[in-house]
């Protein structure tokens, strides 16, 4: 590998390192973004569960109230049946009274008051939007009408019987009105719980929709992170390959350079030893380092052999 090729590979390696560094930074950014979405998603999922749990509470409460409504309806209907029976019984008595008295003013007044009571009680039943003041006024008028009925002068033989039936009618009517009032209140409570259930249910599913969208964002970010990590792995493999290639070639070049340097040093030492030997032959004294160099080069032993041969 020549120096130009080596330089290009090192430049490529640096580029790969920079790419890997930038991609790692990008991964960290996406991981942070994903963590933020996870935190939001988990929060919205908890909020969804809380809303839905509260919605179910209102639904359960509505169902309990509806069960109570059914019971009150049955009791009200029984009271209304008792009212109808008492009215029928009273009509017979009043009719008998009318036949006895003919055009008696007491009879006409009785019929008028009875009709007026029926009208007011019917109004209470078919008018659910009456406020408390209006309702109390109607009930007060009904009670006053019953008192007027009690005060009417009727035939002695019928008076106690009619009054007893009227009292029974008043009691059953009051009971029916009480159940009806309770039903109206319970129906409103049931509707309030039902409306709250629908409201919280709608809110919970809106929140769940947001949580699902955040989860989708998390999935998309996770896909991006996997793709970037795969790219980082590929870059790392390529960088390792180039780094290994550069390392192998550099080792060979360094080994070759060391060999050339060693050869050059040996030549220099040989030349220096020759110079030292010439100095000895000219009568100059031999220093320790010079003596050591001659020994290393084998020149000193050669001189000894030559002396012995003489």
Q: Show pLDDT as tens, one digit a residue, over the chain (310 residues).
A: 556 777 788 888 889 889 989 999 999 999 999 999 999 999 999 999 999 999 999 999 999 999 999 999 999 889 889 988 988 887 887 776 665 544 456 667 777 888 888 888 778 777 767 777 887 888 888 888 877 877 665 544 566 777 788 788 888 888 888 888 888 889 889 999 999 999 999 999 999 999 999 999 999 999 999 999 999 999 989 888 887 877 765 566 677 767 777 777 777 777 776 777 766 666 666 676 766 766 776 765 545 444 444 4
Q: Which two tokens stand for residue 89?
A: 């019984």
Whole-structure pTM value: 0.54
What contacts 135, CB < 8 A, 6 or more positions away? 124, 181
Q: Give the span between the Cα atoms of 121 and 83, in whole angstroms.
A: 11
State residue 28's pLDDT score.
92
Q: Give the span between the Cα atoms of 298 and 148, in whole angstroms.
A: 156
State residue 102's pLDDT score.
45
CA distances (Å), origin 268, targets 34, 54, 273, 291? 68, 97, 9, 16
What is the chain's Cα-based Rg? 58
What contacts 18, CB < 8 A, 6 or more positions away? none
CA angle 278, 282, 287 (to 5 degrees): 70
Length of the chain as a residue count: 310
CA distances (Å), origin 74, targets 67, 77, 177? 11, 5, 13
Domain borders along the chain are: 3-229
Q: Nearest Cα to 277, choosing from 264, 290, 267, 292?
A: 290
Q: Give the span between the Cα atoms of 164 and 97, in whole angstroms.
A: 15
Q: Give the span between the Cα atoms of 125 and 118, in whole angstroms.
A: 11
- DSSP per-residue letters across 166-221: HHHHHHHHHHHHHHHHHHHHHHHHHHHHHHHHHHHHHHHHHHHHHHHHHHHHHHHH
**C-alpha 249: how far from its chain's center?**
58
């Amino acid at each position: 590998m020549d120096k130009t090729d080596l330089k290009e590979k090192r430049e490529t390696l640096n580029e790969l390192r920079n790419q890997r560094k930038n991609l790692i930074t990008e991964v960290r950014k996406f991981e942070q973004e994903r963590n933020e979405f996870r935190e939001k998603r988990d929060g919205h999922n908890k909020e969804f569960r809380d809303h839905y749990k509260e919605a179910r509470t209102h639904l359960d409460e509505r169902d309990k109230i509806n069960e109570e409504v059914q019971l009150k309806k049955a009791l009200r209907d029984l009271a209304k049946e008792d009212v109808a029976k008492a009215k029928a019984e009273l009509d017979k008595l009043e009719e008998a009274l009318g036949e006895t008295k003919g055009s008696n003013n007491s009879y006409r007044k009785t019929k008028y008051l009875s009709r007026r009571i029926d009208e007011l009680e019917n109004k209470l039943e078919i008018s659910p939007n009456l406020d408390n003041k209006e309702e109390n006024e109607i009930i007060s008028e009904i009670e006053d009408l019953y008192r007027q009925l009690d005060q009417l002068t009727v035939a002695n033989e019928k008076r106690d019987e009619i009054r007893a039936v009227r009292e029974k009618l008043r009691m059953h009517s009051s009971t029916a009105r009480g159940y009806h009032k309770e039903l109206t209140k319970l129906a409103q409570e049931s509707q309030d719980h039902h409306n709250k259930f629908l409201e919280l249910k709608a809110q919970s599913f809106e929140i769940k929709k947001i949580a699902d969208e955040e989860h989708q964002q998390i999935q998309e970010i996770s896909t991006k992170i996997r793709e970037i990590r795969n790219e980082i792995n590929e870059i790392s493999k390529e960088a390792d390959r180039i780094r290994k290639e550069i390392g192998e070639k550099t080792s060979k070049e360094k080994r070759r350079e060391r060999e050339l340097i060693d050869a050059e040093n040996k030549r220099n030492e040989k030349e220096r030893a020759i110079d030292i030997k010439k100095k000895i032959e000219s009568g100059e004294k031999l220093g320790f380092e010079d003596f050591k160099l001659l020994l290393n080069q084998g020149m000193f032993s050669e001189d000894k052999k030559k002396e012995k041969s003489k």
